Structure 1
Amino acid sequence: MEFLFSSMFLYEYSIDTIIDACEKAGYDGIEFWVETPHFWIKRVSLKHKNSSLVEMIKDSRIKAIHSPVLDLNPVSVNDGVCDLTLRETLYSINLARKVGVNIVTVHAGRRSAVREPVWSDYASLNNYLRIASKYSRIKNVKLCLENSEPRINYLCKSAEEVKEFMEKYELYFTFDVNHAIKGNYFSRSFLELIDRMENIHVSGYDAKGRHISAIGFEDIKRVLEELSDMGFNKKITVELDDLAYGRMDLKRKIEMLARELDYLRKIFI
């Protein structure tokens, strides 16, 4: 089992500082969001073998990759956005292969209109996952579909939808406990996907739905305890949003990460 944290909690810092924070907080590694600004803004083509940024994250504490999602959408009504999202996902898979990481997490996306998804949205998702999954197998990387935020226009909120696409495209699963619990989408069907579950995103949520400490959320704790009892032993990722806490310096962020790690170790070890 490996305990990770999301690099976006330290979004304002350089890659080497994030790696140093991982060591100071006692984590096994980092789930690296490709959108982490120090990388996202300065990245260069992987065709350049001497890319300093790529070399910096190679053989480091980075144990998982999260494909770009913040302003992208694989099922956008805008074909250009769909195409760019696919290209960035393929880039992420290739990046994972280059730096020795074996899992990449992707999102299913959302209907552009804030309404229930329709057939055209699912057609776009099928196209996206068909191409991305094939490429991931070529690169020997596990493509993990994450269950979505519980919003009306989001695809793959339920365990049933996640399972459908996982089976169709031979995908793996990143289980976001926050997403499942706060939207009342949680069911034991999520736990039944444990054999394909490669990563668990752990956080609580505030009144605005932002990712905060999981400590004190008894419903989330019960799910984690059950997963522990079932023998889950892959990756567990702490996913925090510092916007929910206001201004924090690096020392305070490391202290928060260490506290979350201690909490999770008591459940899983």
Structure 2
Amino acid sequence: MIKIGCSTLFFWEYPIEEIADIFQDLGLRCMEFFPENPDFWKKRDSLDYVNSLKDVLSKFCLTVHAPYIELNPSSINPYIQKASIMETLWAIELANLYGAKYLTIHPGKRPTSRAPTEDEYIKFYEYLDISLKYAEEKNIILCLENPRKKVNNICYSVEEMKSVLEKFNSKNLKMTLDFAHARENSSNFVDELHEQIKNVHISGVIDNKDHYPLRYSMVDFSEPLKKLVHEYGYKNCINLELNDLNYNKELSNQPFKKRLNRKRWPTLESKTFLKARDEKISEVIKEIEYLEELIGK
């Protein structure tokens, strides 16, 4: 059976306990837990609160996503790089506490729209050295996520991701494949690195923007996804990573992106203004059904 999950960030405005209840009601087997969910983030220094969630989160095949907002492990600003390292070490402890085997981390980048220099790579490798040492102590596998194809991003290409994984050659460093980030290059990632892929993010791409509903994606991920599951035997979590800002007013109180082709977007069946929570549940149900159909049970 396919192990489908969802990112907690899609339900960012709700407490983690309520998100867990929603996921259980939806029959989700997996959860990608983002500690940067606002409710958790505000209480992260309360050991009683953090520990209280162990039973709640133990009901899922859990993966954790290390903090990344405002951070950059390749920053040549020593304060930003140190903060990135410390937050990843904290996330490793959190994953260990909650019984998660895999922790998604982001590669570094150059903060300007220019190709990374040797300095950025030195900082990135330093970040990985420190993080991997602690991950090995805690028996956590770090999964490096492929970013969008941008000139300043590290590891957006199959070749560079493969090079970094081979450079460190560690059983504690693998990969999170984000299909939407990979776009049309998904098949190459699957063919070249299927043995290294231990976690999956998936969402749709519309007008070259990601984290839209998968069922309306302008990029077809069916073949590489089926190949990963059926030919290469991927058995870990496939996590929906949706952004509620990409929906219409009824769901997120935000208008469509201007570049979105409205003709491709169906109106919600209900004419009434439902609560955002109920609409998000309805949306995830549709995505689960589509993903199951896409892969084949």
TM-score (norm 1): 0.92
Aligned residue in 1 for 2:181: 179
What stretches of structure 1 of length at least 5 have no aligned partner? none
CA offset digits 1:230-253 (Å, max 9, x no partner):
221111000000000044201110
Q: What's the offset of the Cα at 1:198?
A: 1.0
Tell me the equivalent position of 1:197: 197
- Identify if the C-alpha distance between structure 1 residues 214 and 235 changes in structure 2 by more than 3 Å, giving closer, same or farther: same
CA distance in 1 between partners of 2:81 and 2:286 (Å): 39
Counterpart amino acid of 2:13? Answer: E
Number of residue pairs aligned between Structure 1 and Structure 2: 263
Q: Secondary structure of 1:195's partner?
A: coil
| Counterpart-to-counterpart distance in 2, 1:185 and 1:116 | 20
CA distance in 1, matches of 2:142, 2:220: 28
Deviations 1:11-34 (A, max 9, x none): 111011110110122211210011
Give the CA deviation at 1:57.
Answer: 4.0
Would you say 1:168 and 2:147 are equivalent positions? Answer: no
Deviations 1:168-216 (A, max 9, x none): 23211100011111xx544524433112211111101233613111114
TM-score by structure 2 length? 0.84
Question: How big is the shift at 1:88?
Answer: 0.3
Displacement of 1:219? 2.1
Distance 2:248 2:132 in 1: 38
SS of 1:156's equivalent?
A: coil
Q: Which stretch of the first structure deviates more once superposed, 81-90 or 108-117? A: 108-117
Following superposition, the deviation at residue 227 of structure 1 comes to: 1.4
Mean Cα displacement is larger for which, 72-81 or 201-210?
A: 201-210
Q: Decide whether the 8 Å contact of 2:74 with 2:124 is kept in 1.
A: yes
Match of 2:242 in 1: 240
- SS in structure 1 of the partner of residue 215 of structure 2: coil
Moved over 6 A (4+): none
- Aligned partner letter, 1:54: N
**Aligned residue in 2 for 1:25:** 26
- Structure 1 residues 121-140: aligned runs within 5 Å: 121-140=120-139
Distance 1:162 1:96 in 2: 23
Match of 2:153 in 1: 154
* Structure 1 contact 15–57 (Cα < 8 Å) conserved: no
Provide the C-alpha distance between the structure 1 equivalents of 2:228 and 2:60, rounded to a whole number of angstroms: 25
Query: In structure 1, the residue corresponding to 2:199 is in which secondary structure?
Result: strand
Q: Which structure 2 residue ranges, 5 or more long, are not aligned?
A: 252-275
Q: Deviations over 1:65-91 (max 9, x none)?
A: 000112111112311011001100000
Match of 1:256 in 2: 283
Distance 1:143 1:83, change over 3 A: same
The higher relative CO (CA closer than 8 Å, separation ≥ 6) is in 1
How do 1:1-269 and structure 2 match up within 5 A? 1-44=2-45, 48=47, 51-58=48-55, 59-61=58-60, 63-169=62-168, 170=170, 171-181=173-183, 184-207=184-207, 209-217=209-217, 219-230=220-231, 231-247=233-249, 248=251, 249-266=276-293, 267-269=295-297
Secondary structure of the residue that 1:41 maps to in structure 2?
Answer: helix
What is the rounded CA distance, in whole Å, between the counterparts of 1:225 and 1:29 in structure 2?
19
Output the CA distance in 2 between the equivalents of 1:160 and 1:70: 26
| Separation of aligned partners in 2, 1:6 and 1:215 | 17
